[in-house]
A and B are shown apart, each in its own frame.
Chain A
Amino acid sequence: MRRTVRFLLNDREFSLEGFDPTLTLLDWLRNERRLVGTKEGCAEGDCGACTVLIGRLRNRELRYEAINACIRFVATLDACHIVTVEHLKKASGGLHPVQQAMVELHGSQCGFCTPGIVMSLTALWLGAAQAPSRERIEEALAGNLCRCTGYGPIISALDRAYEIEASSADSLNVGRAEVARKLAGLADREVIEISEGGRRLFAPATADQFAELTAAHPDATLVAGATDVGLWITKMLMRPATVIALGRIGELDRIEDKGDHLVIGALVSVSDARAALGGLDPQIDELIRRFGSEQVRNAGTIGGNVANGSPIGDSPPVLIALGASVILRRGSERRTVPLEQFFIAYKKQDRQPGDFVEALIVPKPRPGTLFHVSKISKRFDEDISAVCAAFRLERDEAGLTTNAVLAFGGMAATPKRAAAAEAALAGRAFDAQAAEAAALALASDFKPLDDWRASARYRSTVAANLIRRFQAETATGSVHRVAGILRSDAHA
C-alpha cells in the first residue's frame, strides 16, 4: 500500500499524501499551486476553459492528451505528467508557436477561454507533424466554448503555428526523454490509498487488486475517467466515502482483436476505442467523433459509458446493435451478459454490489450486413442525444430480412431495442413498405419523454424517420447526412 500520489506538474515532481480523495485537478492547480492560467468556466467538463495536457506512458511511449481538469481527481493522476498553460512558454520567455499564432491572428477577445483553447490546439500540434484539416481542428475544439470570436481566427491559428517554427523547439518536446524516464520511475504495482477525514480513494495497479478491492468495498464508487462521477462532486456536491479508481490498471486498457469480435477492456478510453470500433463502419466512427468532446473522449471510457446505465449514453445503442455483451467480474468470478439485458431500468443495471465491468465483447458485423447509426441532438457537436439510433439488418439470399436489430437511446428509460418495429421488418424484403410498417410500429415500442433536449413528438417523429432513412440509404447505397464527415458532396 502506498499513501502518496506521485506525478510531474510542468517541470516539478510532486508526491502528495493525505488530501481530499475527490479533490479536482483544477481546484488543486488554482487554489494550492496558484497556477491560475487554467480557468473554471463550468465545472462540468463542457466548456474546456480548464483544459490541460496529461502525458502518460503507453507502451513506453509518452503521449499527451487534452483533458478537463475540472472533473478529474488529482488522486487518479499517479505517474502522469500534468502540463498547464504556464509550461508552454519557452525558457527564453518567448511564446510557444501555438500561442504566438493565436496572438498574431487575433484569436482571443475576452481571453478567458483562451488558455484552454491553446492547450487543445497544442495537443493537436504535438500529435500531428503537419497542419490538420479544418474538420480535425473543429473536432479537437468541440469541447472548447468561445463566446467572443466565432472561432475563425482560432481555427486559422493552428495553420499559422505550423509556419512559425519546427516542433523541436517546444518545451514539451525538449524534455521528452527525461519526462518519460521520470514517469517510468514513478510507476509501480502498489495499491495507492489516499484518505482524508474518513473518506478514501484506492487506485489499484492490477485487475486482481481491483477485484479484491471492489469485493471488499461493494458500495464503493468506481471511477475510470471521472467524466460522469466528476460532476457528482462538482455539481451534486456528493462526497462518496470510498472511491476505487481504475486508471492505473494497464491490463484493462487493452483492445484485443479476436477475428470475428473485439474485446474492449473497461479502461479503454473512448478515444482509443474509436480506432477499433470506428473501423467497423464509418458511421460508428462519426458517432464516436461526436461523443462528448475530445477532452471527454480522452478521459472517459466505453466501459464507464455502459456501466453508468444512462438512457442517453452514446455508445449503448450501437453496441446493442452490434450484439455486444458485457463481462462482469466479482472477485475471481466472471459472467457474460448480453448488453441489451444489462440495462434493467432507469440507471439500474444488472450489476450487483462488488460486480464491475471488466470488458465488452463486440462482434464484428458479417459481410453484407446493413448498418445505420444516427445521433440527433440540438447541436451537432458536444451535445447529448435527443435520439441515438443504431440499426443492424441481415438478409438471406432472397433478400428477406432474417435478423433486424433496431436499438435506440433517448426513447425510453434505458437504451432499448424496438421489438415491434423489428418484428415489422422480419421475414420480408427491406423495401419502403417494410420501413414504413416499422416506422409506424415504433409507436407501440416507445413512449418517450418531453424534456429540454426534445419533445416526445420530436423524438418519435425522428426515430420513425431514421428507419425510413435507413431504408432509403440501403436503396441508394449512400449515406445521407447534412453535416459532419459523412455528409456526401452530392448536395454541397
Chain B
Amino acid sequence: MHKPVFAANRDQVTGGVYQSTRHDSGHKHVAGEALYIDDMPEPAGLLHAALGLSHCAHGLIKEIDLSAVKDSPGVELVLTAADIPGVNDISPSNHHDDPVFAEGKVMFWGQPIFAVIARTRNEARLAAAKARITYEELPAVLDIAAARKNGQDFVAEPMSLNRGDLDAAMAAAPRRIKRSMNLGGQEHFYLESHIALAVPGEDGDVTVYSSTQHPSEIQHAVAHVLGVPSNAITCEIRRMGGGFGGKETQGNIFAAIAALAARRTGQAVKLRPDRDDDMVATGKRHDFVIDYEVGFDDEGHILAVDILFAARCGFSADLSGPVTDRALFHADNAYFYPAVRLNAQPWRTHTVSNTAFRGFGGPQGVVGAERLIEEVAYATGKDPLEIRKLNFYGGPGRDLTPYHQTVEADLSAEIIAKLEESSDYQARRAEIRAENLRENARGGPFRRGIALTPVKFGISFTNSWQNQAGALVNVYTDGSVSVNHGGTEMGQGLYIKVAQVVAQAFQIDLDMVKITPTTTAKVPNTSPTAASSGTDLNGMAALNACNNIKERMIAYAVEKHGVPADQVEFLPGRVRVGNREIEWPDFVKEVYSNRIQLSSSGFYRTPDIHWDRKAGRGRAFYYYSYGAAASEVTIDTLTGEYRVERVDILHDVGSSLNPAIDIGQIEGGFVQGMGWLTTEELWWDDKGRLRTHAPSTYKIPVASDRPRIFNIELLNKPNHMPSIHRSKAVGEPPLVLPISVLHALSDAVASIGDYKIFPDLDAPATPERVLFAVEAMRARVRERNGSHG
C-alpha cells in the first residue's frame, strides 16, 4: 500500500507558515481544471434563468405584458414578485428595502422585474428581451448633487464623529481652506460574473452553489424568500473568479431566483447573468462628494478638520451605512486632528444600490485625508510629504483618533522614512521639479510628478459582532487532514494560508492538508469574507480546532504513556512522546484506537474590541495595517494622457504568513486602486442608464498600465497584537496606496503654475480630467500674469 510522507524534510514541514507557498489552485488555474460554478458537471434536466430588467430609472409599473416571453421557444416558467412564497426582500442589513423583483415601482434602470426559466441560457435571454413593460415615469434623482437639491432621504442613519471643540478650533486657526472634491465610484469587474446554481432536494430543501463571499447570507436570504427555515438551505462555494466586495451581498438576488425556480420546477436551475446585466444590476463602489474645511498654521500643522462625506448609495441601504461609516473611520488616515468633526450623508438615489468594494468606504476616507494634506502643502508652499510628517499620530496627546481609539504601535513614521530613502524620493523630486521648470520655459509638452502617500488601515469589522469565525478540522485515521472554515476563496489565498496554519499546527506537510469547499452545512453562521479579516479570523478558528485535537492527543499521551504534557511534542512528520518518536500516522492510528475524537470545530472572536456607534467612541479596530507608496508619473499636457513611470511600495503585513501571496495582494490591490483613481469611470446618461456597462466601455488597467518600474517590499515586523502567527491583514490596505498616483498627477499638473497654485484634480483622473486641470492651471497662470493675457 502507498504510504504517504507527512514531512519530507524532518527539520521543517513543507508549506508551513511564513513560507511562499504557491496558491493551492495554481496548477489547476493554468490547466483550466479549477472548477468555477459554471464549470461544474450539470445536473440532468438543468434549466437556465435570465433576468428581465427595468428600462426606467424611477417609475410606477403600469403594465407588465409577459405573454411573448412565455411563448418564446424553450420557456418553462416566468417568475415575478407574485411567485415569491416568502418575503420579497433580500436586504442584507434588515432595512427591508431590497426586493428580489420590483413590485409596483422601479427604483433604478436595470432593476430586475421578472425572471424567465428556459431550457437553454440563450433561449432564456432571447425570451427575456420580449417583455413589454410600461411605466409612468417619476422624477429620477441620479446623483449626489441632485439628491441634495431634491432633499432626498438617507438610506441609513448617518454616523458622526466628533472630538474637541471643532468650531472654536477652526475659528482660532491662523489659516483655513474650504473646498470640495468629487471622487468616482468603481465597478468590481470580477472576471467571473455572478452565478448561482440551485439544486432541489427532499422536503423542500435546496442546495445553492453561489459565487459569494458570504454563504451564510445567501442561506438566510434564500430561506426568507422561500419562506423556509435556514436549515432547509445549504450554500456551498469552492472558489470565486474574483469578488472584491462585489459578492458580499450582491449574490443574494441570483441565488434567491435560482432557488425559487428550482423549487417551482423541481429541477436544477442555473442563473448566470450576462456581463452587461451583471454590471447594470449589481452595486458598485460608492462615489462621493467630499466637502471639507481645514484649519492649520503657517508651518502646516493641522488644527481643525471638518469633513462631510456625501455618498451616492443608490435606491436601497444594502451596506451603505457601514460603508459610509468606514469613510469616516479612515478620514484621519495616518494623521492626528486636534479637533475634528466628520459627518456622512448616505444619499438615496435612483441608481443601482452601491455596495462593498475592497476598502469599504475606507479608501474614500483616505482620499479625503490626503486631499487636506495637499491643500495645506500648497497653501504653505511645502512638500506635501513634509506636511504628512508634521501631522502623524505621535504619542500621548497626539494619539487619539476621531473615534477616540488610541493609536498604538504606529508604524507610519518608520515606513515613510524607510521608503523615502529606498525610493530616493528627495533627489528625484528635486530633479523632476527642475526639469519641469525647464520644460515650462521651453514650452515642451511633458511634465512629471511625484508623490509619496501613506496608509493606515483599521482591521476589524466595525460591526463588532461580525468579528467571529468557525472552522472544522478532521484528522483521518491515515493521518491525512481536512480543513473547512467559514471563509471563502476569491483568489486572495485565504485557503492556502489557513491550510499552512493547519500544517504548521500538526507539523505535517501542506499537501497532507485537504482544503474543502466552504459550506454552511459544515461551519454555520459565518461572517462574510470581507474587511481583510479572512485569515485573521478563520486562521485563528482553524488553529483553535487543531489545538483542540492536539490537546486531546496530548492528554491521551499523558495518560497512556505516563509522560508530562510538556514532553509531548509535535515534530515534522512525527510526535515525540517522552523519549520515543512516533510517526504521525502511527500516532494518529493509536489515538483513534483508544477512542479519542479526531475531529473538532474551532471558534474565534477578536478580543478587546468594542464600538458604540451612537457615541462615536470605542476601540473599533484590533490593530492597524500600514504601508506607503511613492509614485512617479509623466503627463502629456496637450492630451492629458499619462504614464506611471515608477512605483515603490513598503507595506506592513506583520510577520507574513506567505510573502508571495501577500506581495500578490499588494501588487494587485495597487493596480486595482490605480484603476479606480485613473481610467475607471462610471458614466450614467440623463435617463439614469449606465452606459459603461461592459469592458468595451469601462476600462480597468491592462498589462501596459502597470508601472514601468514597480518595487514592492514587505516591512516584515511582527504584529504587536497576538494575531494569527503575528501576521496582519492584507486584502484592502494596498488599494489605498495608489492615492500616490493621483497626487503625482496633481504634482505634474501643478508644475504648470510653478507649484504655486492648487491643482484641484478630481478622481478618476482620466486623461480628460488631467487635461482640463492643466488647462485650468494655464488659465490661472494667465490671470496671474495679466500682462501676458
Binding site for B on A (CB under 8 A): 27, 30-31, 34-44, 46-47, 49, 84-86, 88-89, 95, 98-100, 102-104, 106-115, 118, 135, 137-139, 141-142, 144-155, 234-235, 237, 239, 374, 376-384, 386, 451-455, 457-458, 461-462, 465-466, 468-469, 472, 480-483, 487, 491-492
Identify which of B490, B667, B671, B703 contacts A144 (C-beta below 8 A). B703
Identify which of B22, B31, B38, B768 contacts A454 (C-beta below 8 A). B768
Closest A-B pairs by Cβ, 7 of them: A37-B32, A110-B491, A112-B241, A111-B29, A150-B671, A109-B491, A36-B39
Q: Is the CB of A150 within 8 A of B696?
A: no
Q: Is the CB of A491 within 8 A of B191?
A: no
A399 and B31 alpha carbons, distance in the complex (Å): 61
For residue A491, give the distance in angstroms from its CB to the closest CB of chain B. 5
Q: Is the CB of B126 within 8 A of A237?
A: yes
A434 and B270 alpha carbons, distance in the complex (Å): 63
For residue B765, give the distance in angstroms from its CB to the closest CB of chain A. 11
Q: Is the CB of B242 within 8 A of A112?
A: yes
Q: Is the CB of A153 within 8 A of B641?
A: no
Which of B297-305, B347-355, B500-508, B704-712 lies at the interface?
A: B704-712
Are A138 and B703 CB-contacts (below 8 A) given A145-B189, A147-B244, A483-B641?
yes
A-B interface pairs (CB < 8 A), number: 271
Q: Is the CB of B703 within 8 A of A106?
A: no
Are A110 and B190 CB-contacts (below 8 A) given A142-B704, A458-B771?
yes
16 interchain pairs (CB within 8 A)? A41-B193, A95-B31, A106-B26, A110-B239, A110-B242, A110-B491, A111-B25, A113-B191, A147-B242, A150-B664, A150-B669, A151-B702, A155-B706, A378-B699, A465-B639, A480-B638
Q: Is the CB of B275 within 8 A of A44?
A: yes
With both beta carbons as reference points, the residue of chain A lying nearest to B447 in the complex is identified as A491
Q: Is the CB of A103 within 8 A of B30?
A: yes
For residue A121, give the distance in angstroms from its CB to the closest CB of chain B. 10
Q: Is the CB of A39 within 8 A of B274?
A: no
Known: A43-B275, A149-B667, A235-B274; 17 extra A-B contacts, CB below 8 A, are A30-B38, A38-B32, A46-B695, A106-B20, A106-B23, A147-B668, A148-B242, A150-B672, A152-B710, A237-B126, A374-B639, A379-B699, A380-B641, A462-B771, A480-B446, A482-B643, A491-B446
Please give, as numbers and ranges, the residues of chain B lying within 8 Å of A483 by CB-CB distance. 641-643, 704
A109 and B244 alpha carbons, distance in the complex (Å): 12
Q: Is the CB of B679 within 8 A of A378?
A: yes
Q: Is the CB of B706 within 8 A of A152?
A: yes
Q: B727 interface residue, CB < 8 Å from A?
A: no
- Most chain B CB within 10 A, of A35, A43, A98, A114, is at A114
Q: B492 interface residue, CB < 8 Å from A?
A: yes
Q: B697 interface residue, CB < 8 Å from A?
A: yes
Q: Is the CB of A458 within 8 A of B32?
A: no
Which residues of B87-131 are within 8 A (CB) of A? 120, 122, 125-126, 129
For residue B493, give the distance in angstroms from its CB to the closest CB of chain A. 7
Q: Is the CB of A115 within 8 A of B27?
A: no
Q: B592 interface residue, CB < 8 Å from A?
A: no
Please give, as numbers and ranges, the residues of chain B lying within 8 Å of A109 by CB-CB distance. 23, 491-493, 664, 668
Q: Is the CB of A43 within 8 A of B274?
A: yes
Q: Is the CB of A378 within 8 A of B766?
A: yes
Are A103 and B22 CB-contacts (below 8 A) given A39-B241, A108-B29, A139-B704?
yes
Please give, as numbers and ranges, the residues of chain B lying within 8 Å of A118 by CB-CB distance. 30, 32
With both beta carbons as reference points, the residue of chain B lying nearest to A382 in the complex is identified as B702
Please give, as numbers and ranges, the residues of chain B lying within 8 Å of A480 by CB-CB distance. 445-446, 636, 638
Please give, as numbers and ranges, the residues of chain A lying within 8 Å of B193 by CB-CB distance. 41
Q: Is the CB of A378 within 8 A of B767?
A: yes
Identify which of B30, B39, B445, B672 contacts A147 (C-beta below 8 A). B672
Identify which of B241, B638, B668, B696 contacts A466 (C-beta below 8 A). B638
Please classify the interface of chain A as helix (H, G, I), strand (E, B), loop, or mixed, using the class held by over half of its residues.
loop
For residue B595, give the distance in angstroms from its CB to the closest CB of chain A. 41
Q: Is the CB of A384 within 8 A of B696?
A: yes
Q: Is the CB of A102 within 8 A of B30?
A: yes
Please give, as numbers and ranges, the residues of chain A lying within 8 Å of B445 by CB-CB distance. 469, 472, 480
For residue A234, give the distance in angstroms from its CB to the closest CB of chain B. 8
For residue A86, give the distance in angstroms from its CB to the closest CB of chain B. 6
Binding site for A on B (CB under 8 A): 20, 22-23, 25-36, 38-39, 41, 120, 122, 125-126, 129, 188-193, 239-244, 274-276, 435, 444-446, 448, 490-493, 634-636, 638-643, 645, 660-661, 664, 667-672, 679, 681, 683, 691-692, 694-697, 699-706, 710, 766-768, 771-772, 775
Q: Is the CB of A235 within 8 A of B705?
A: no
Q: Is the CB of B30 within 8 A of A108?
A: yes
With both beta carbons as reference points, the residue of chain B lying nearest to A70 in the complex is identified as B275
A151 and B191 alpha carbons, distance in the complex (Å): 14
A38 and B191 alpha carbons, distance in the complex (Å): 13
Q: Is the CB of A42 within 8 A of B694?
A: yes
A67 and B244 alpha carbons, distance in the complex (Å): 28
Are A115 and B710 CB-contacts (below 8 A) given A106-B660, A142-B703?
no
A289 and B247 alpha carbons, distance in the complex (Å): 35
Please give, as numbers and ranges, the residues of chain A lying within 8 Å of B444 by CB-CB distance. 491
Are A41 and B667 CB-contacts (below 8 A) given A111-B34, A139-B704, A482-B634?
no
With both beta carbons as reference points, the residue of chain A lying nearest to B642 in the complex is identified as A482
Please give, as numbers and ranges, the residues of chain A lying within 8 Å of B276 by CB-CB distance. 235
- Most chain B CB within 10 A, of A145, A150, A152, A386, is at A150
For residue A196, give the distance in angstroms from its CB to the closest CB of chain B. 12
Please give, as numbers and ranges, the residues of chain A lying within 8 Å of B120 by CB-CB distance. 31
Please give, as numbers and ranges, the residues of chain A lying within 8 Å of B34 by CB-CB distance. 111
A112 and B28 alpha carbons, distance in the complex (Å): 11
A383 and B680 alpha carbons, distance in the complex (Å): 12
Please give, as numbers and ranges, the residues of chain B lying within 8 Å of A454 by CB-CB distance. 768
A451 and B686 alpha carbons, distance in the complex (Å): 11
For residue B495, give the distance in angstroms from its CB to the closest CB of chain A. 12
Q: Is the CB of B31 within 8 A of A37?
A: yes
With both beta carbons as reference points, the residue of chain B lying nearest to A45 in the complex is identified as B696
For residue A93, give the distance in angstroms from its CB to the closest CB of chain B. 10
- Most chain B CB within 10 A, of A103, A113, A235, A451, is at A103
Q: Is the CB of B691 within 8 A of A452?
A: yes
Q: Is the CB of B26 within 8 A of A482?
A: no
A489 and B778 alpha carbons, distance in the complex (Å): 26
Q: Is the CB of B35 within 8 A of A376?
A: no
Are A149 and B31 CB-contacts (below 8 A) given A382-B702, A482-B636?
no
Please give, as numbers and ranges, the residues of chain B lying within 8 Å of A378 by CB-CB distance. 679, 681, 699, 766-768
For residue B677, give the distance in angstroms from its CB to the closest CB of chain A. 13
For residue A485, give the distance in angstroms from its CB to the closest CB of chain B. 10
Q: Is the CB of B491 within 8 A of A151?
A: no
For residue A279, give the distance in angstroms from its CB to the closest CB of chain B. 23
Please give, as numbers and ranges, the residues of chain B lying within 8 Å of A154 by CB-CB distance. 703
A418 and B771 alpha carbons, distance in the complex (Å): 23
Q: Is the CB of A379 within 8 A of B705?
A: yes
- Most chain B CB within 10 A, of A31, A99, A151, is at A151
Q: Is the CB of A115 within 8 A of B691?
A: no
For residue B450, give the distance in angstroms from its CB to the closest CB of chain A. 14
Please give, as numbers and ranges, the residues of chain B lying within 8 Å of A42 by CB-CB distance. 275, 694-696
For residue A367, give the distance in angstroms from its CB to the closest CB of chain B. 27
A142 and B640 alpha carbons, distance in the complex (Å): 21
Identify which of A38, A376, A452 contacts B692 (C-beta below 8 A). A452
Please give, as numbers and ranges, the residues of chain B lying within 8 Å of A492 by CB-CB distance. 645
With both beta carbons as reference points, the residue of chain A lying nearest to B446 in the complex is identified as A491
With both beta carbons as reference points, the residue of chain B lying nearest to A157 in the complex is identified as B30
For residue A160, give the distance in angstroms from its CB to the closest CB of chain B. 13
Q: Is the CB of A84 within 8 A of B32?
A: yes
A42 and B20 alpha carbons, distance in the complex (Å): 33
Identify which of B448, B639, B642, B681 contacts A452 (C-beta below 8 A). B681
Please give, as numbers and ranges, the residues of chain A lying within 8 Å of B767 by CB-CB distance. 376-378
Please give, as numbers and ranges, the residues of chain A lying within 8 Å of B189 by CB-CB distance. 145, 147
Please give, as numbers and ranges, the residues of chain B lying within 8 Å of A144 by CB-CB distance. 702-703
Please give, as numbers and ranges, the residues of chain A lying within 8 Å of B32 by CB-CB distance. 35-38, 84-86, 115, 118
A374 and B667 alpha carbons, distance in the complex (Å): 31
For residue A312, give the distance in angstroms from its CB to the closest CB of chain B. 11
